[in-house]
Structure 1
Amino acid sequence: MKIVDVRATLLKPTEQVFKYTDDWPGRRVASILFRVIGEDGNEGHCTTWLAAPGQTEDLMPRIREAIIDRDVHDVEAINYQLTDRLRAPNAVQSAIDIAIWDLIGKHHGQPIYKLLGAARHELRAYASTVWYPTIQEYIDLAFECRNEGFNAYKMHPFGVPDKDIALSRAVREAVGDTMDLMLDPVNAYDRLGAIKVGRVLEELDFYWYEAPIADADIQGLTDLTRKLDLPITAVESINNGLLHYPPYLVNHAVDSVRSVGDWMGGITAMRKAAALCEAFGVKYEPHSYGTTLIQAAHFHVMLAINNCDLVELPVPTGILDQGMKNALRVEENGNVPAPTLPGLGYEIDEDEIDRLTDRELSTTGSDSFG
Structure 2
Amino acid sequence: MIIQKFESWWVERGRCLFDEKRQGGAKMGWDVLVIKLTTDTAIEGIATCMAARSGAVSESYLNETVAPVVLGKDPHDREAIFQELWIIDRHEAFFPVFLPGPVDVALWDICAKEAGLPLFKYIGAYRTSLPAYASSNFLPSVQDYVEEALYYKEKGLKGYKMHPAGPVEFDMQVHQAVRDAVGPDYALMTDPVGDYTLDEAVRVGRQLERLNFEWFEEPFRDFELYKYTELCRTLDIPIAATETTRGCHWGVAQVIAQHAADIVRADVSWKDGITGTLKIAHLAEAFGLNVEIHTTTMNYMDMANLHVSCAIKNCKYFEYFVPEDNYRLPMKGDLPIDENGIIHVPEDKPGVGVDLDWDLIKKACHNYICQEYKG
Task: Identify whether the pair has TM-score above 0.5, normalized to the shorter chain.
Answer: yes
Q: How does 1:1-370 map to 2 (within 5 A)?
A: 1-15=1-15, 17-19=17-19, 23-25=21-23, 27-50=28-51, 52-87=55-90, 90-177=97-184, 179-340=186-347, 341-361=349-369
Deviation at 1:59, TM superposition (A): 4.3
> Alpha-carbon deviations, 1:246-289, whole Å to 9, x = none?
22112221111012431331111110111111111111112123
SS in 2 for 1:101: helix
Gaps of 5+ in 2: none
SS in 1 for 2:266: coil
> What amino acid is the match of 1:131?
F
> Alpha-carbon deviations, 1:322-343, whole Å to 9, x = none?
1221332321222100112221
Please say if residues 6 and 370 of structure 2, whose CA atoms lie closer than 8 Å, have aligned partners that are also in contact: no
> Alpha-carbon deviations, 1:59-80, whole Å to 9, x = none?
4244333222222211111221
SS in 2 for 1:98: helix
Higher deviation after alignment, 122-131 or 345-354: 345-354
In the aligned structure 2, how far is the partner of 1:280 from the partner of 1:133?
Answer: 39
Deviation at 1:101, TM superposition (A): 1.0
In the aligned structure 1, how far is the partner of 2:326 from the partner of 2:199?
Answer: 35
- Over 3 Å counting, the alpha-carbon distance change for 1:203 and 1:14 in structure 2 is farther
Could you list the structure 1 runs, at least 4 aligned residues long, displaced by more than 6 angstroms after superposition.
none
How many residues get paired? Answer: 362
In the aligned structure 1, how far is the partner of 2:14 from the partner of 2:157?
Answer: 24
Please say if residues 148 and 331 of structure 1, whose CA atoms lie closer than 8 Å, have aligned partners that are also in contact: no
Please say if residues 17 and 326 of structure 2, whose CA atoms lie closer than 8 Å, have aligned partners that are also in contact: no
In the aligned structure 2, how far is the partner of 1:185 from the partner of 1:228?
Answer: 17
Instruction: Give TM-score scaled by structure 1 length.
Output: 0.92
Deviation at 1:192, TM superposition (A): 0.7
- Over 3 Å counting, the alpha-carbon distance change for 1:33 and 1:305 in structure 2 is same
Query: Higher relative contact order by CA 8 Å / sep ≥ 6: 1 or 2?
Result: 1
> Alpha-carbon deviations, 1:137-192, whole Å to 9, x = none?
11111122122220200001022111111111001111113621110000111101
SS in 1 for 2:108: helix
Q: Root-mean-square deviation (CA), in Å?
A: 2.0
Deviation at 1:362, TM superposition (A): 6.8
Per the alignment, residue 367 of structure 1 pairs with none
Please say if residues 332 and 355 of structure 2, whose CA atoms lie closer than 8 Å, have aligned partners that are also in contact: yes
Gaps of 5+ in 1: 365-370
